[in-house]
Amino acid sequence: MSGTVKRLVRGGVLLNLLYVPAMALFAVFIFWPFLKGIQISFTNWDGYNQNFQWIGTDNYSRMFGDPDIKTVVKNTFIYGVGSTLFQNVVGLLYALFLNTRIRTRGLVRTVIYLPVIISSLIMGYIWYFFFQYEGGAINDLLQLFQDQPANLLGDPKANVWIIMFVNTFQYLGIAMVLFLAGLQTIPREYYEAATIDGAGPLARFRRVTWPLLAPSFTVSVVLNLIGGLKLFDVITAMTNSGPGYASASLSTLMYLLYFGREDAGYAATIGILMFVIISVVSLFALILLRRREVPA
């Protein structure tokens, strides 16, 4: 090793240089398009024309007066917060169950994790066939008890929750794996000490498992929140955001505005709103959850 390289390694410079390709890629494919997105949100660009006008904050004032936005933001929160809640509760229960010495542990873990590896678009289509009006499996069952099939995906009051359920079902495995990994890092001695002190299963969970699982909880919640808040594929496959925009999320609305309504300027504005919502919610969750983390 030459003297220069040695000095670079010792000074940590070479290590820092290794960041450069990743940073450059980030700058080109994430940061630069993000800045362009902000720029476009102040224009009336239709998405393909070489010419467009600056319209100041018109898109932003339009967004606050848009009757569809309220529904779409509400849906986005149902997909984000609802999925996170169910994924973590059920994922934790599965992890606790699989952390015991049962024989089929490996098999159960694989089965629960399996949906994660399926494309979410395909998952949406699979569930569409379950819920569809004519010939859908759910309706075949329902018709054992009632005459008419239920138009579940066409009902705006039901389809948002169905989509949330499908997203929960698919990514449950990630929460489970994170919790399982967290559970396996908790030393057995803590449980033994707690048992000697007279703690029952519930007290052991509350006093030992729950606080020491906090780091896994933070990662799982933040990942699920971000994934749920930008949900796209399942919605497109199951309802195409419909009826109208009744089941749209901010992601699908942005796509529909850009490509369908040729309203790229406004779509960029929706993108900025989505960025703000995801940033604020996930940062808030991160700060809140970090506070309750304790070192193992």
Query: At its nearest, how many Å lie between another protein and the CB of residue 4?
Result: 5
Tell me which of 50, 100, 146, 184 binds another protein, using CB under 8 A.
Answer: 50
Whole-number Å distance between alpha carbons of 183 and 176: 10
**Cβ atoms 240, 154 nearer than 8 A:** no
Tell me which of 193, 260, 288, 290 binds another protein, using CB under 8 A.
Answer: 260
User: Binding to another protein by residue 2, rule CB under 8 A?
Assistant: no
Whole-number Å distance between alpha carbons of 95 and 261: 45
User: Binding to another protein by residue 39, rule CB under 8 A?
Assistant: no
Whole-number Å distance between alpha carbons of 92 and 86: 10
Tell me which of 98, 213, 256, 273 binds another protein, using CB under 8 A.
Answer: 256
Tell me which of 4, 100, 146, 184 binds another protein, using CB under 8 A.
Answer: 4
Helices (H), the chain: 3-10, 13-17, 19-26, 32-40, 58-65, 67-77, 83-98, 105-113, 120-131, 137-142, 156-184, 188-196, 201-204, 210-212, 214-229, 233-238, 250-255, 264-291
User: Binding to another protein by residue 92, rule CB under 8 A?
Assistant: no
Contact segment (CB under 8 A) with another protein among 111-119, 146-154, 214-222, 272-280 equals: 146-154
Tell me which of 37, 115, 154, 211 binds another protein, using CB under 8 A.
Answer: 154
User: Binding to another protein by residue 242, rule CB under 8 A?
Assistant: yes
List, in order, residues 6 or more apart from 283 with CB less than 8 Å away: none
CB closer to another protein out of 154 and 211: 154
Tell me which of 53, 61, 119, 143 binds another protein, using CB under 8 A.
Answer: 53
User: Binding to another protein by residue 244, rule CB under 8 A?
Assistant: yes
Nearest to 178 by CA among 87, 292, 103: 87
**Cβ atoms 259, 232 nearer than 8 A:** no
**Cβ atoms 254, 125 nearer than 8 A:** no
Query: At its nearest, how many Å lie between another protein and the CB of residue 17?
Result: 6
Q: Which residues bind another protein (CB under 8 A)?
A: 4, 7-8, 11, 13-14, 17, 20-21, 24, 28, 44, 46-50, 53, 55, 132-134, 149, 151, 153-154, 156, 239-240, 242-246, 256, 259-263
